[in-house]
Every structure is written in structure tokens, then in C-alpha cells.
Amino acid sequence: MTKTIGKNIKEKRKKCGFTQEEVANRIGVTPQAVSKWENDTGLPDITQLVPLARLFGVSTDSLLGVATDLQGTAHLNAAQEHIAALLDSSQPIAERHLAAYRYLCEESDREPANYPLMCLCINHSAEISRYADFDGFLSDRPEEAHRIFADCERKNACINRYCEERSIIESADFAMAWIHLHRKEYDKARTRIKALPSLMSNNLREPLEAQLALFEHGYKSEKEVLKSNIRKLLHATGKEFAYSFEDIAREETAEESMVFYEKLCGIIKAYEAFDFLCAEAQEWQEEIDRFLPKD
């Protein structure tokens, strides 16, 4: 063991941007206990090692100072748990996404062929680009901003060249298009956008997946696929409406915005006719409501 457990805890806590109090609250101990661990005047109970490791996005072996080599899905799952904790911290939201990007960069370097990790990195960078564009985030650190977005271009190119999973490629291209839009790199944004599938396509896989289920297993199986397809339509509709209404609420008068809002609500409400979609339709309604004009 090259480091004490206490030094490991302190190092990983600071890397995540947590205070001792935040760590204590998340695993159900006192801040004084965390302080003792970090000062090597006490040790966490064995039952606290797993919650600590999950909070920091590492394995228990890593927390104990033993080398570990997470790979593939296990590595991705550990990273996602860690990112969820980072995004729930008390830092400003833009700083949370920056912390997520930095962490994912390190994890991606540990496993260069883990394309989902690489894609997550680009997605958090897209959030950074939004705050950089609208709120001036990183305006005092232009070199870091340039480095982040250049790194994402390299990662996106790597995913397009070597990844065989279409959903990962599309997710990376989608996020990269947002980065280019916020960076005012419109030709690059256009290239990424054109690489994405379109609603105008008559060759979508979902209708054929439903027919495959019908032919192979009968109507009962097709019915489940149809439910899944309708859910996908809701998510596509909700995302489009949220993006559109955010712009409309910003650019139009409050009266004009509300007219459009009522139309969007009517369409989202229609999805609630399906019992299995009620909760999700309401979540999309809440997402759209975020952009209502303030009184």
C-alpha cells in the first residue's frame, strides 16, 4: 500500500469537489469521523467502504490503495455512479459538469476503447459549452475551454472511426453538434447534424421491429414493441418541444408564448391516454414548464 486509507479518502474527496460534511451526509456519519479518517486517527467501518467507494467512483480496492483494473461495463457503471454523485453536489451546475468532464477524461484514458465513457465525456462537455455560451463560463480560462472542446473533437472522431454501436456514435455526434453551435462553428455543426438520422426517413427501424415481432412471435410480442415505439415518440416529441419552447419563450412576447405553450401541452397531454406513459408525459410537461415566462 503506497498511501494510507485516510490519504486516499482525502485525495479522492478533493478530486470530486466534496466537503467533509457532504461526504459525511451521504454515507451517514459525522464530519468529525471523516476528518479523523483523513488525518489517520481513525478508520472507516468495513460497512462504510462500499458507500465511500461508490461516492468517489472507484473500487474498494482502489480506496484501500490496491491497484485495480476496471474494464468495460463494470468501469462504465462505476463511472456513472460517480458522476451521479458529482452532479448532486453543492457546486454551481457548470462546475459540476466540468468536474464530470475531468473525471471522465481520466477514466477514458485508463480504458481508451471504452466508447460509452468517451461519449459521456463529450455529453458533459456539451453542457459546459452551453454555460460558456450563455453565462460566460470559462471566459477567464480560455485556454482550458479550447483544450476541452478540441479534446472532444478528437474523441468524437475516434468514436466515428472505431465504435461499432450506432447509438453511441449518434449520441456523440448529437452532443458534438451542440458544442459547435455554442462555439459558433456552424459549418462543423452542420456536418455533425447531417450525420444524424432524420424524422423524414422512411427507413426507420422501429416499424420493422414491430413487424419482425409479429411475424416471429405473434401479436402479443408485437404489442410490446408498439408500446416501446410510442414511448420513443413521446421522448422525441418532448425533447423537440422543450428545445422549441425555450427559444419561443425567450424571443416572443409572453402572450404569444402562452398561445404556443397551450398547443404543445395539448399534444403532450394526448400521450397520457396511454396508462403506461402517464408519468413520463407529466415529466416532459414539467420540463417544458421550466421555460414559462416569469411574471
The DSSP result for 4-67, as a single string, is -HHHHHHHHHHHHT--HHHHHHHHT--HHHHHHHHTTS----HHHHHHHHHHHTS-HHHHTT--
Model confidence, pTM: 0.71
114-143: average pLDDT: 96
Domain boundaries, the chain: 5-194, 205-289
Q: Which residue has the higher pLDDT, 270 or 18?
A: 270
* Residue 70: band (very low, low, confident or very high) from pLDDT cuts 50, 70, 90: low
* Residue 109: band (very low, low, confident or very high) from pLDDT cuts 50, 70, 90: confident
Q: What is the per-residue pLDDT for 53?
A: 82
In CATH, which of 1.20.59.20, 1.10.260.40, 1.10.3470.10, 3.40.718.10 is domain 5-194?
Answer: 1.10.260.40
pLDDT in tens, 159-205: 998 888 999 999 999 999 999 999 999 999 999 999 998 888 778 88
* Residue 1: band (very low, low, confident or very high) from pLDDT cuts 50, 70, 90: very low
Return d(Cα 152, Cα 132) in angstroms, integer.
15
Is pLDDT of 224 > 50? yes
Q: What is the per-residue pLDDT for 237?
A: 96
Q: What is the per-residue pLDDT for 189?
A: 96
